[in-house]
Amino acid sequence: MISANAVTKRYPQGIEALKEISFEIEDGEMVFITGHSGAGKSTLFRLLAAVERPTSGSIAVNGQNIAALRRGAIPYLRRKLGLIFQDQKLLFDRSVLDNVLLPLSIVGLPAREAIRRARAALDKVGLLDRERAQPIALSGGEQQRLAIARAVVNRPSLLLADEPTANLDSESASQILDIFRSFHQVGVTLVVATHDAQWMARFSPRVLRLERGRLLGDPA
Amino acid sequence: MSGSGMSGFFPQHYAAQKSAVRRLLSSPLNTLLSLVVIGAALALPAAGWVMLDKLQGFAGQVSGVQQISVFMATDAGKEEAAEIESRLRQANPGQWRFVAREEALKSLEETEGMADVAAGLAKNPLPDAFVVEAGDRGPETLEKLAETFKSWPAVAHVQLDSAWSRRLDAFLRIGALAVSLLAALFAGALVAVTFNTIRLQILAQAAEIEVSRLIGATDAFIRRPFQYFGALQGALGGLFALSLVAGIGLALAAPARELLALYGVAFTPGGPTLPQAAAIVGVGAALGWLGAQISVSIYLRRVG
């Protein structure tokens, strides 16, 4: 599903965010990327989502090398991913339902089918009764669940989440964990960047630990 | 099935069109101001074009009955006239007719205000003449014909009535050039106006664009609603320009007809024809589309 080979990301100021990272993630795996802030978690997330390209090395997602991807091919790669951003990137000018409809309108699904799928996604994250609400009226945990619903509405086989429980109280975080587990159980590959210890305790998952751009102890 | 079928086949285009209309209606004052600017920018070259087109049609009409008058010497007799006639038959410059000197005098007598003059004449001073209608030939051809006629025996004078039509021709050419330059200038202005309108919209929707791209929107998807918006705004601006041009045409029609009647010319200025109207609206739409296209493309390239 994901194959990284000697990936280095250097920013113009000479900062090396990632240094010679190599790892493999199989289909259906659940992998956590941990490390202090500034360790390179978000950089790795941005590379996997093809927001940025590696300075050197290759990183393949769904068999496509991000480093060599044509600009025009990036949207089609992203449609196969579910992306959950640290800052959620919800649109506050439209309802909860319309936020979830956005990915479906991008792929051109007919309205009736799109609404059916969007409601199913909202149902999975427990927000079906809030579909008419404005995102600003949702709690922090609800906003994060809305972001998850938008990420999974296209039924991606790979879900990437950057700090999905940052700034959430433990009960809200716990709900998010349960939702992720249910996706993992139906075979979705899950890659979560987090420094939240709760995850480790709950799942004892495979962990990729980053420290100053280098990969430490990958047990796999 | 037809309505839902359309939205099923092209849901993205349908959604983009709906969003464009919604944006136009959501800020009526801005929309109105933009339409006034676009309409005014289109109206000037459009009015010039419509008028020029009418004048060109008119000029074509009058040059279609271009005449060359060939006057014989007053002492020329029937034999000389017959000689010219046979030469004309050979040269075949178009239609011609012979005006005998007696006939010319008679028509002079019948002309208002000239009867006294004609009556006071001791003898007929008028020559025999041929009036040649050379068809719709160019001014150069006519001039050459006139030169030829002049060289024939017993021809005293050849009069070509093309000088003023050449002047009109030159005037129309300058007019066409001026309208083209004006059109280019205002087309640029229209593209710029749309560019700026779209730029402001993009800034207002930067969040939506960013999120859409992150979750798999193509550049074409991002551009589409703006392109429809630009085209729609341009087309509406074109309609506004059209009403201005039609209004100007209507306002000018009566005085222009009176003025031209003084020169003995029957000519109705009038408004744009249907194909012209379609072209003005179409050009407005195309330029609006172009402005939107440029605006979104620049933005997308900048954000990478």
Could you tell me the two tokens for B89?
């038959």
Q: In chain B, what residues touch A92 (CB-CB under 8 Å)? A: 207
Q: Chain A residues contacting B, CB < 8 Å?
A: 49, 51, 72, 75-79, 83, 85, 89, 91-93, 102-103, 105-111, 150-151, 154
Residue A153: pLDDT band (50, 70, 90) is very high
Q: What are phi and psi of A31, to 5 degrees?
A: -125, 135
For residues B72 and B104, give the distance between their C-alpha atoms in angstroms, rounded to a whole number: 13
* CB spacing of A91 vs B211 below 8 angstroms: yes
Alpha-carbon gap: B32 to the closest alpha carbon of chain A (Å): 24
Question: What domain range includes position B139?
Answer: 67-161
DSSP A72: G
Q: Above 80 in pLDDT, residue A91?
A: yes
DSSP A1: -
Closest CA to B197 of B291, B284, B285: B291
CA A50 from chain center: how many Å? 12
**Position B241 in a domain:** yes
Which of the two residues, A124 and A199, has the higher pLDDT score?
Answer: A124
* Same domain, residue pair B294 and B187: yes
Counted across chains A and B, CB pairs separated by less than 8 A come out at 54
For residues B165 and B177, give the distance between their C-alpha atoms in angstroms, rounded to a whole number: 18
- What are the beta bridge partners of residue B155? B72
Q: In chain B, what residues touch A151 (CB-CB under 8 Å)? A: 215
**Position B84 in a domain:** yes
Across B209-224, average pLDDT: 93
* Same domain, residue pair B128 and B147: yes
Substitution target in B19, B215, B223, B301 with the highest count of A β-carbons within 10 Å is: B215
Residue A3: pLDDT band (50, 70, 90) is very high
Q: Above 90 in pLDDT, residue A57?
A: yes
Closest CA to A159 of A124, A193, A205: A193
* Same domain, residue pair B124 and B180: no
Q: Above 60 in pLDDT, residue A220?
A: no
Amino acid symbol at B3 = G
* CB spacing of A79 vs B207 below 8 angstroms: no
Alpha-carbon gap: B245 to the closest alpha carbon of chain A (Å): 41
Alpha-carbon gap: B25 to the closest alpha carbon of chain A (Å): 17
Residue B4: pLDDT band (50, 70, 90) is very low
* Same domain, residue pair B152 and B181: no
Q: Which residue of B has its CA nearest to A110?
A: B8
Dihedral of the alpha carbons of A166, A167, A168, A169, in degrees to the nearest 10:
120
**Position B91 in a domain:** yes
Residue B5: pLDDT band (50, 70, 90) is very low
* Same domain, residue pair B55 and B76: no
Q: In chain A, what residues touch B12 (CB-CB under 8 Å)? A: 105, 108
Alpha-carbon gap: B13 to the closest alpha carbon of chain A (Å): 9
Place of tokens 């149902």: A123
| Residue B281 CB contacts under 8 Å (≥ 6 apart), including other chains | B235, B238, B239, B242
Dump pLDDT digits (tens) for B89-121. 887 777 788 888 888 888 777 776 777 777 777
Percent of chain B with pLDDT over 90: 34
For residues B231 and B288, give the distance between their C-alpha atoms in angstroms, rounded to a whole number: 5
Alpha-carbon gap: B226 to the closest alpha carbon of chain A (Å): 15
**Position B3 in a domain:** no
* CB spacing of B212 vs A102 below 8 angstroms: yes
Q: Which residue of B has its CA nearest to A109?
A: B11
- What are the beta bridge partners of residue A10? A16
Is-contact A97 A75, C-beta < 8 A? no
Strands A81-84 and A56-61 turn out to be unpaired
A37 by DSSP, 3-state: which?
coil
Q: Above 70 in pLDDT, residue B233?
A: yes
DSSP B268: -
Alpha-carbon gap: B230 to the closest alpha carbon of chain A (Å): 21
Residue A172 has a CB neighbour count (10 Å cut-off) of 18
Q: Helix H segments across chain B?
A: 2-9, 11-26, 28-63, 78-91, 101-110, 115-119, 139-150, 163-204, 206-214, 219-262, 274-303
* CB spacing of A150 vs B214 below 8 angstroms: no
* Same domain, residue pair B134 and B153: yes
* Same domain, residue pair B292 and B212: yes
B247 interfaces chain A, CB cutoff of 8 Å: no
For residues B44 and B42, give the distance between their C-alpha atoms in angstroms, rounded to a whole number: 6
Residue B3: pLDDT band (50, 70, 90) is very low
Is-contact A135 A89, C-beta < 8 A? no
Residue A108: pLDDT band (50, 70, 90) is confident
Q: In chain A, what residues touch B216 (CB-CB under 8 Å)? A: 75-79, 103, 106-107, 154
Which of the two residues, A106 and B105, has the higher pLDDT score?
Answer: A106
B206 interfaces chain A, CB cutoff of 8 Å: no
pLDDT at residue A157, rounded to an integer: 92
* CB spacing of A79 vs B11 below 8 angstroms: no
Domains in chain A: boundaries: 90-155
Q: In chain B, what residues touch A78 (CB-CB under 8 Å)? A: 214-216
Closest CA to A119 of A78, A165, A152, A141: A152
For residues B4 and A79, give the distance between their C-alpha atoms in angstroms, rounded to a whole number: 25
Q: Above 60 in pLDDT, residue B135?
A: yes
Cα-based distances in Å from B23 to B19, B28, B196, B197, B233: 6, 9, 15, 11, 10
- What are the beta bridge partners of residue B288? none
Q: In chain B, what residues touch A77 (CB-CB under 8 Å)? A: 216
* Same domain, residue pair B191 and B51: yes
Residue A120: pLDDT band (50, 70, 90) is very high
Q: In chain B, what residues touch A111 (CB-CB under 8 Å)? A: 7, 11
Dump pLDDT digits (tens) for B52-95. 888 877 776 665 556 788 888 888 888 888 888 888 888 777 77
Closest CA to B197 of B126, B295, B53: B295
Q: Which residue of B has its CA nearest to A51?
A: B214
pLDDT at residue B60, rounded to an integer: 67
Strands B67-72 and B155-160 turn out to be antiparallel
The last residue of one of the domains, among B135, B161, B187, is B161
**Position B140 in a domain:** yes
* CATH number, domain with residue B144: 3.30.70.3040
* Same domain, residue pair B119 and B266: no
Q: Above 70 in pLDDT, residue B263?
A: no
Which of the two residues, B165 and A150, has the higher pLDDT score?
Answer: A150
* CB spacing of B212 vs A150 below 8 angstroms: no
* Same domain, residue pair B181 and B297: yes
Alpha-carbon gap: A103 to the closest alpha carbon of chain B (Å): 6
The last residue of one of the domains, among B161, B184, B205, is B161
B172 interfaces chain A, CB cutoff of 8 Å: no
pLDDT at residue A21, rounded to an integer: 92
* Same domain, residue pair B218 and B294: yes
Closest CA to B278 of B248, B242, B250: B242
Q: Which residue of B has its CA nearest to A78?
A: B216
Number of domains making up chain B: 2
